[in-house]
Amino acid sequence: MAKYLLLKHYRGGPNPHPNAVAGMDEWTPEEIAAHLAFMRGVMDDLRERGEFVEERALAYEGEFVRYGGEGRAPVTDGPFAETKDVIAGWMIIDVDSKARAYETAARLSAAPGKDGRPLHEWIEVRPFLSAPPVFE
């Protein structure tokens, strides 16, 4: 088993799908409820398979923070991230293969959005390191 982080982005990815639908800020309450029910269904299925680890949705707001120097306050900037860079939420899964991680990401990409149509959103799939990287 290997752990993967599946990142949902508000909007963005390499190329939008031609049938991509409007962002959640343009959905009705019923469309949002249907989307969340779909996501709960996927998580329930993953739990039954023993593949679900954790998930969280993230607020749209946020800032970049970095070290400001010895004795100085942290440096903050934002929220100025490009929409394509903002992460909507994440899920951690523990699956047998990268192929299974991709299968799960594709299923999440099909979550319904506006008018009940699949979102076709990009899901970023990132494996967890199993050991520190070795640089030669």
Full domain range(s) for residue 30: 2-68+85-127
pTM here?
0.80
pLDDT at 27: 86
Q: Is the pLDDT at 80 greater than 70, yes or no?
A: no
93 or 18: whose pLDDT is higher?
A: 93
User: What is the full DSSP assignment across 75-114?
Assistant: EEE-S---GGG-EEEEEEEEES-HHHHHHHHHHHHT-B-G
120 or 81: whose pLDDT is higher?
A: 120
- Asked if residue 133 belongs to a domain, the reply is no
The mean of the pLDDT values for the chain is 84
pLDDT tens-digit readout, 41-61: 999 999 999 999 999 988 777
pLDDT at 84: 47
Which residues is 95 bridged to in the sheet? 2
Q: What CATH number is given to the structural domain containing 123?
A: 3.30.70.1060
- Asked if residue 17 belongs to a domain, the reply is yes
Total tally of structural domains belonging to the chain: 1
